[in-house]
Structure formats: C-alpha cells, structure tokens
C-alpha cells in the first residue's frame, strides 16, 4: 500500500509518498520539504499569515515533485493523508483542503492526521519499533512526554505548562542578539562557554508530576544578561552554556522519572524498552547525550531517528495514514475540519468521531 502524505501545520510545506509492506515494514519512496525559514527569519518567529500564503504557493508543485521522485502518478497511490491539526489554522486549511480535493477527484480515501501522531509513530517507520514505547517530543511548539501504546492509543504523561523547549532556545537567542532560529545559534555559542558561570533555575526538578516549564529559565537568562550589560561574546557563550546545562539537568530529572514510571508500569519486558526523541530540538547534541545517558541508566534503548524525520515532514503523515489503514481504522469523511488544537490523547475518541 502507498500513501501520499501532506504536511502544512507550521512553517514547513511537505509532501511524501510512503509504502508499507504487509509485514509492517515501511519505505519512503519520496520525501520533499520546503522550509519557510527565510520568509520568517526577519520577524524572529513564524508569522501565521505569511506561512499560510507560502503553503498555498508551494504545495501543488511539492506534491508533483513527490510523485515524480517516486516515479508515480496519483493513480498509483492508495490513499491520501493530510495533517488536520494541531497547528496554525491557515496552513492546516491549505493542506487539508488540498488533500480533500485530491481524494474527491480520484475517489481515494482521505485520512485526516494528527500531526503529533505523525511524530509519535515515526520510530515504527525508521526502526520498526513495537508498542509500547515512550516518546519525547521537543520542538518549537511542543514539549511532551507521551506513552505510545498503539495506533490511536496515546497517554500524555507530561507537557509544558508555559514555553516549549525550542521556544525557550529561540527566546534566549533573541534576547542575546543571536539569529533565528535560536537553537542552533545557542548550541554553537555554548561550545566556547563556561556552563558553571551561571546557575539558572531547573524548573519542576524533584516534582513527581512529569510536566515541563521553561519560561522561568528564559527570565533568568534575561536578568543575567541585564546584570552584566554590555555583554561580550564570552558572556554570551557562558550564558548559552549555562542555559544548556540547566536544560540538560532539568531533562535528566524529568525524563528519568518518566522512564522509571514506564518500568514500574510494564515491569520486565521481553525486549529492552525504548525512549524515542522527535522534534527540531532533537538536533541538540548535549540533549542527545543526556537522553542517551538516562536511557542507559534505566535500561532503555535510545532512538533518535534521522533529523529530517524528527523535524516536520510529510513522510510521517503518510506513515500515520498507513498505520491507520493497517489497523482497519476508518477513513475520514470529506466534511472533516482542521483543528488548531488537538491533544494527542483525545485521538482515540476523535478518530471515531471525525466528520460525523
Ligand atoms: P512544531 O509545530 O512541530 O512544534 P516547529 O517548526 O516549531 O514545529 P521544529 O521545526 O520541529 O518545530 O523545530 C524547530 C525548533 O527546534 C526551533 O525552536 C529551533 O530553535 C529548535 N532547534 C533546532 N536546532 C536546535 C539545536 N541544535 N538545539 C536546540 N534547539 C534546536
Ligand atoms: Mg518547523
Ligand atoms: Fe512537528
């Protein structure tokens, strides 16, 4: 079976064709992504109206490219999968309406996919992972720890109560005068910095709940920078290194507790359990090292899919559609609406209720 995936929920326009063998193996036949980074960088963040227009301009030709690279026409795909939430509503409308139009014109089924479900199931495409496993999603818009129990079966164990982790990197970079997106800039500056110079807060560390909080960290960075103004390049490097150090220590505590809870819940398993990371912040080397070391400490495998599949892409959306087909879950009615908010743990109910 082959599915055309469409992704337009944020600032990447993407189309992909993915195939699934009857034994569950997935294969990406094509995967094209157009990042709108340049359109938004002057504003220091994603501008929804600009994003929506850019999706309209790019999507048709990206779908053609995805088909051409897979050496196929629409007649060769079995279904369409389009992201229908959560995300920026303008972009979601563009992608979902395009998916509906193709479905209507070709008579093929349409699957309206939760973007977070795409991230959650990616490790099954890349690593053939079996359920259950734990997913840490860390991007510009999300910071969530999710128990992935099955297709459409998710438990959100933790989420951020304020800023997302990527957002904290972006805001820290902005107030230090570093370029957007902030993550890579902060990571690069931190290389020559002293992580012990500042002791930044480690929000929620020690608490039993598995939530995250990063806005206090950003405030502490601002106060540190203001206290030493004018800041030198070395000050910036030290602040970035200390910021990353606080992030690592926070994640060590939060994720460590999550792994412990997983072990308590499932007990000894036939195979080593897995922790999977997704989202753009997965590019951060220090975070990866931290996650690897906590995983080792708790007897987990740490899985980091290739970065192109950690950030927003359409292969994960096509794959989520294939997973639903394999479970004999129903396709969506063409009256299905995009949803800017759509928590993943409501997926089971909404799958049955979509479009009705
Ligand atoms: P979503 O809707 O999935 O939240 P997004 O566009 O906000 O989408 P991604 O594209 O997955 O998120 O990731 C972008 C984020 O990742 C930005 O906040 C960026 O600063 C952060 N990031 C990228 N590289 C690094 C890095 N090396 N270290 C830390 N953060 C990084
Ligand atoms: Mg993005
Ligand atoms: Fe995403």
- Kindly calculate the radius of gyration of the chain based on its CA atoms and give it in whole angstroms: 20
Q: Tell me 12's DSSP state.
A: E
Only one residue has tokens 């879950």, namely 329
| Residue 203 beta carbon below 6 angstroms from any ligand 1 atom | no
Tens digits of residue pLDDT in 128-140? 999 999 999 999 9
Q: With the C-alpha atoms ordered 140, 141, 144, 146, is the resulting torsion angle positive or negative?
A: negative
Measured between alpha carbons, how far is 309 from 319 in angstroms, rounded to an integer?
Answer: 11
Q: Is the pLDDT score of 298 beyond 70?
A: yes
The band of 229, judged by pLDDT with boundaries at 50, 70 and 90, is confident
| 238 known member of a binding site | no
Distance 10 CA to ligand 2 centre (A): 6
Q: Give the pLDDT of residue 352.
A: 41
CB 34 within 8 A of CB 13: yes
| Residue 139 beta carbon below 6 angstroms from any ligand 1 atom | yes
Tens digits of residue pLDDT in 249-285? 999 999 999 999 999 999 999 999 999 999 999 999 9
Q: Give the pLDDT of residue 73.
A: 98
CB 60 within 8 A of CB 312: no
Q: From 87, 135, 139, give the residue whose CB has the most ligand 1 atoms within 8 Å, as the site to mutate.
A: 139
Residue 317, classed as helix, strand or coil, is helix
| Residue 10 beta carbon below 6 angstroms from any ligand 1 atom | yes
Distance 138 CA to ligand 3 centre (A): 9
Number of residues that this document lists for the chain: 356
What residue's CA is closest to ligand 1, atom 1?
Answer: 141
Tens digits of residue pLDDT in 75-132? 999 999 999 999 999 999 999 999 999 999 999 999 999 999 999 999 999 999 999 9
Greatest extent of the chain over all pairs of C-alpha atoms, in Å? 64
CB 175 within 8 A of CB 186: no
Q: Residue range 325-330: average pLDDT?
A: 97
pLDDT exceeding 90 applies to what percent of the chain?
92
Show the DSSP H helices in the chain as ranges.
Answer: 37-41, 48-69, 89-106, 115-127, 165-175, 182-190, 215-227, 233-266, 285-297, 307-310, 315-326, 347-353
Q: Give the pLDDT of residue 43.
A: 85
Burial of 346 (0-12, 13-18, 19+ CB in 10 A): middle
Phi, psi of 212, rounded to the nearest 5 degrees: -125, 155
Tens digits of residue pLDDT in 198-218? 999 998 999 999 999 999 999
CB 122 within 8 A of CB 173: no
Residue 161, classed as helix, strand or coil, is coil
| Residue 118 beta carbon below 6 angstroms from any ligand 1 atom | no
Tens digits of residue pLDDT in 33-70? 999 888 888 888 889 999 999 999 999 999 999 999 99
Q: Is the pLDDT score of 351 beyond 60?
A: no
Q: Residue range 238-259: average pLDDT?
A: 97
| Residue 7 beta carbon below 6 angstroms from any ligand 1 atom | no
Q: Give the pLDDT of residue 354.
A: 34
Q: With the C-alpha atoms ordered 307, 277, 299, 344, is the resulting torsion angle positive or negative?
A: negative
**Interaxial angle between packed helices 315-326 and 115-127, expressed in degrees from 0 to 180 and rounded to the nearest 10:** 80
Phi, psi of 67, rounded to the nearest 5 degrees: -65, -45
Which atom of ligand 1 is the closest one to the Cα of 142? Answer: 4
Measured between alpha carbons, how far is 232 from 229 in angstroms, rounded to an integer?
Answer: 8
Q: Is the pLDDT score of 348 beyond 50?
A: no
CB 11 within 8 A of CB 51: yes
Q: Give the pLDDT of residue 347.
A: 58
Tens digits of residue pLDDT in 131-188? 999 999 999 999 999 999 999 999 999 999 999 999 999 999 999 999 989 999 999 9
Q: Residue range 289-313: average pLDDT?
A: 97
ipTM value for the complex: 0.98
Buried b (16+ CB within 10 A) or exposed e, 162-195: bbbbbbbbbbbbbebebebbbbbbbbebbeebeb
């Amino acid at each position: 079976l082959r599915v055309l995936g469409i992704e337009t929920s944020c600032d990447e326009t993407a189309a992909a064709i993915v195939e699934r063998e009857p034994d569950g193996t997935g294969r990406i036949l094509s995967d094209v992504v157009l990042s709108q980074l340049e359109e938004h960088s002057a504003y220091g963040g994603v501008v929804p109206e600009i994003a929506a227009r850019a999706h309209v301009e790019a999507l048709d030709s990206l779908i053609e490219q995805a088909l051409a690279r897979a050496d196929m026409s629409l007649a060769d795909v079995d279904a369409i999968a389009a992201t229908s939430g959560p995300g920026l509503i303008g972009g979601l409308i563009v992608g979902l309406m395009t998916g509906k139009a193709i479905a209507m014109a070709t008579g093929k089924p349409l699957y309206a996919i939760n973007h977070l479900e795409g991230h959650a199931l990616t490790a099954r495409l890349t690593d053939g992972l079996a359920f259950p496993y734990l997913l840490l999603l860390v991007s510009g818009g999300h910071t969530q720890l999710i128990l992935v129990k099955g297709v459409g079966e998710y438990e959100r164990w933790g989420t951020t109560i304020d800023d997302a982790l990527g957002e904290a990197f972006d805001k820290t970079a902005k107030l230090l005068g570093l370029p957007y997106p902030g993550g890579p800039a902060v990571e690069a500056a931190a290389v020559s910095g002293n992580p012990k110079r500042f002791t930044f807060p480690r929000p929620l560390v020690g608490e039993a709940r598995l939530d995250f909080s990063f806005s206090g960290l950003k405030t502490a960075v601002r106060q540190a920078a203001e206290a030493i103004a004018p800041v030198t390049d070395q000050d910036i490097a030290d602040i970035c290194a200390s910021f990353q150090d606080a992030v690592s220590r926070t994640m060590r505590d939060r994720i460590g507790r999550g792994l412990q809870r997983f072990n308590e819940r499932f007990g000894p398993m036939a195979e080593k359990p897995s922790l999977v990371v997704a989202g753009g912040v997965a590019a951060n080397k220090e975070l990866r090292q931290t996650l690897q070391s906590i995983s080792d400490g708790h007897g987990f495998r740490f899985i980091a899919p290739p970065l192109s599949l950690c950030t927003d892409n359409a292969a994960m959306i096509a794959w989520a559609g294939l997973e639903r087909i394999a479970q004999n879950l129903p396709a969506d009615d063409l009256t299905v609406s995009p949803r800017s908010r759509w928590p993943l743990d409501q997926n089971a109910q909404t799958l049955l209720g979509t479009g009705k």
